[in-house]
Structure 1
Amino acid sequence: MALITISGYPSSGKTTRANQIFNFLQIKLQNPEYQGPNLKVVLLSDDSLDIPRAAYDDSKLEKAARGALFTAIQRLIARDTLLIVDSLNYIKGFRYQVYCAAREMKLRVCTVYVVATPDLCREWNSKRGDGHDYDPDTIDNLIMRYEEPSSMVRWDSPLLTVMWEDADIPGPQIWEAVTLGSIKPPNSGTLSAAKAPTDALHVLEQITASMVSAILAERSASQLETLVSLTLPGSIKLQLTLPSRHITLSELQRFKRQFITVHKKAITLGTTEKGAVDWEENNIAHKFATYLEDHLRA
């Protein structure tokens, strides 16, 4: 249904805001006046994944932590879920990656930017008594590297900002974003290619061979009629227009081999037509008929 990305400096109060959002959404969904789909709210965080703050002390450990977080996001995003991601999310490339994952699932998105001054973050970090504090050098490094969200880029929009002195979150705006916001279509660059079935080459060979035989038989019986009706195994019926001249078996076989060669690439690598290849027998027959009409006319 929706993905809410929390972003902000380390120790800026992101978890507090994430819990406020979680509670607000729960109350909205349990309200008797709510008549929408049956949804659940899930809060995902570094803590829920047992990612220690020390993971951000080392670039390799941090990369592994981000990988674990992204894997969890992919596992939890769903059409019946309002997923809140409470983590640093300080790299715009990672936010874009999360945004693309949400688009693939056709989910609404929302970014909540939790703002606190660097000095406040350092102060709050030093006073933490829960064992989740950052090393002083690490927090300085993370603040320096932080890439601020922007409402001008699509992966951070809509962007809602919560200042450190705000007592509460902008609940109504978040609710509107996750229930009424626009759903962006999947990015074509992130879509996986549709793979052909395992018997696609066999079906391709069988259908085209049957058509070659049927065309020769019909042409022999119809005395060079241009409009030919074919009936193939599997109750496949189609018509194609042929030139009013003699057509040889070798000519048809050549075009059959060319047609199969073109489609072999789609079989081995996935579709080369962005999802347009349909491997159903009837559609293969009609595509080969069109191919023959175009090439025999030449």
Structure 2
Amino acid sequence: MALVTITGYPCSGKTKRVQQLTNFLEGQFRLPEYSKLNLKIVVISDDSLNLPRSVYNDTRSEKPARGALFSTVQRYMNPSTIVILDSLNYIKGFRYQLYCAAKETGVRVCTLFIAAMPNQCIEWNNERDPGFAYTPDTLENLIMRYEEPSSMVRWDSPLFTIPWDETELPKDQIWFAITQGDIKPANVGTRPTPQAPTDALQVLENTTVSIISSITSEQITSGGTGGTINISFPTNKFQISLPARTITFSELQRLKRAFINMYKKVITQGAAEQRVDFTEESIARKFIEYLEQNMQA
């Protein structure tokens, strides 16, 4: 359904805002128009993944922590779930990565920026229990490196900036963004590549051979006078118009090879062709059309 990315300085009050948002969404889900849709909220945070604040002390431990957050977000994103990522999310490249994952999954996105002054964050950090506090050097480093979100870039939009001293969230605007906002189409490079059936090449070969055999038999019977002939398959019958001459077997074989080669890339490499139907009926129809267009009179 949606991915809500929470971002802000360490100790800026992000988790408090997540709780406000969660309470609001749960109330919305109880409304008659939503109560039967089985919608869910999943909050993913450093604490839910047992990531201590110490992982931000150096980049070597921070990178796998971000990887754990990202993979968990990917696992829970689906059309019936609002995923809320309650973490620093202070690197714009990471927010872009989340945005791309949401596009690929087909869910909406929005970003909540919890804005607080650095000195206020330092004060709140000092009030925390040691196990949930950042070291002074780490906190200062994270604040210095923070990359503020911008509504001008697509991966942070729609962006809601929440001042630390604001009592309420812009609930209606957030609700609209996650239920009616645009769903960005996945990039071509990230779309799943459609795969041909495992027996596609065999169906292609057998169907074209059957059609050539029918044409050859008909020419023997009619003496090569051409005209319209019927070709029967177990589930359907087709007609093909032949030129008024004898079509040699070698000519039919050449056209068959050319037709098969047109589809081999789709079959063997999984080319991103959405319209190819590898059923016997579809292949027969296309091969007959191909023959009619390429047999010289």
TM-score normalised by length of structure 2: 0.89
| Residue 113 (structure 1) aligns with | 113
CA distances 1:136-159 after superposition (whole Å, capped 9, x unpaired): 333333323322222222222211
Q: Distance in 2 between matches of 1:243 and 1:134?
A: 84
Task: Assess, with a 3 A threshold, how the Cα gap between structure 1 residues 12 and 236 changes in structure 2: closer, same or farther.
Answer: same
| Residue 148 (structure 2) aligns with | 148
Would the aligned equivalents of 1:95 and 1:155 in 2 still touch at CA under 8 Å? Answer: yes
Equivalences for residues 67-78 of structure 1 within 5 A: 67-78=67-78
Equivalences for residues 219-258 of structure 1 within 5 A: 219-222=219-222, 223-232=224-233, 234-258=234-258
| Residue 282 (structure 1) aligns with | 281
Question: CA RMSD of the aligned region, Å?
Answer: 2.4
Q: Counterpart of 2:112 in 1: which secondary structure?
A: strand
| Residue 161 (structure 1) aligns with | 161
Q: Counterpart of 1:131 in 2: which secondary structure?
A: helix
Unmatched segments (≥5 aa) in structure 2: none
User: Which stretch has the larger CA shift, 163-172 or 137-146?
Assistant: 137-146
Aligned-pair distance for 1:279?
Answer: 1.8
Aligned-pair distance for 1:242?
Answer: 4.1
Q: Counterpart of 1:94 in 2: which secondary structure?
A: helix
CA distances 1:218-247 after superposition (whole Å, capped 9, x unpaired): 344454435443213x32422344444432
Would the aligned equivalents of 2:106 and 2:186 in 1 still touch at CA under 8 Å? Answer: yes
Q: Counterpart of 1:47 in 2: which secondary structure?
A: coil
Which amino acid in the other structure matches residue 23 of structure 1?
N
Which amino acid in the other structure matches residue 254 of structure 2?
R
User: Which stretch has the larger CA shift, 219-228 or 276-285?
Assistant: 219-228
Q: How many residues align?
A: 296
| Residue 136 (structure 2) aligns with | 136
Aligned-pair distance for 1:26?
Answer: 0.9
| Residue 178 (structure 1) aligns with | 178
Q: Distance in 2 between matches of 1:154 and 1:199?
A: 42
User: Which stretch has the larger CA shift, 238-247 or 38-47?
Assistant: 238-247
Equivalences for residues 256-295 of structure 1 within 5 A: 256-273=256-273, 275-295=274-294
| Residue 94 (structure 1) aligns with | 94
Aligned-pair distance for 1:286?
Answer: 2.1
Q: Counterpart of 2:71 in 1: which secondary structure?
A: helix
| Residue 26 (structure 1) aligns with | 26
Q: Counterpart of 2:288 in 1: which secondary structure?
A: helix
Would the aligned equivalents of 2:3 and 2:85 in 1 still touch at CA under 8 Å? Answer: yes
- Percent of counterpart pairs with the same letter? 54
Would the aligned equivalents of 2:226 and 2:246 in 1 still touch at CA under 8 Å? Answer: no
Q: Distance in 1 between matches of 2:153 and 2:241?
A: 53
Task: Assess, with a 3 A threshold, how the Cα gap between structure 1 residues 128 and 236 changes in structure 2: closer, same or farther.
Answer: same
| Residue 213 (structure 1) aligns with | 213
Q: Distance in 2 between matches of 1:167 and 1:76?
A: 30
User: Which stretch has the larger CA shift, 288-297 or 68-77?
Assistant: 288-297
Task: Assess, with a 3 A threshold, how the Cα gap between structure 1 residues 45 and 253 changes in structure 2: closer, same or farther.
Answer: same
Would the aligned equivalents of 1:265 and 1:272 in 2 still touch at CA under 8 Å? Answer: no
Aligned-pair distance for 1:41?
Answer: 1.5
Task: Assess, with a 3 A threshold, how the Cα gap between structure 1 residues 213 and 16 changes in structure 2: closer, same or farther.
Answer: same
Unmatched segments (≥5 aa) in structure 1: none
Q: Distance in 1 between matches of 2:232 and 2:92?
A: 58
Task: Assess, with a 3 A threshold, how the Cα gap between structure 1 residues 137 and 219 changes in structure 2: closer, same or farther.
Answer: farther
User: Which stretch has the larger CA shift, 244-253 or 45-54?
Assistant: 244-253
CA distances 1:19-69 after superposition (whole Å, capped 9, x unpaired): 111111112222457567331211111211112222222323222122211
Q: Distance in 2 between matches of 1:90 and 1:182?
A: 24
TM-score normalised by length of structure 1: 0.89
Q: Counterpart of 1:152 in 2: which secondary structure?
A: coil
Which amino acid in the other structure matches residue 162 of structure 1?
I
Which amino acid in the other structure matches residue 218 of structure 2?
E
CA distances 1:140-191 after superposition (whole Å, capped 9, x unpaired): 3332332222222222221111011112222222112122222233332210
CA distances 1:235-280 after superposition (whole Å, capped 9, x unpaired): 242234444443211122122223323322222221342x222222
Would the aligned equivalents of 2:226 and 2:245 in 1 still touch at CA under 8 Å? Answer: no
| Residue 39 (structure 1) aligns with | 39
Would the aligned equivalents of 2:194 and 2:272 in 1 still touch at CA under 8 Å? Answer: no
Task: Assess, with a 3 A threshold, how the Cα gap between structure 1 residues 122 and 241 changes in structure 2: closer, same or farther.
Answer: farther
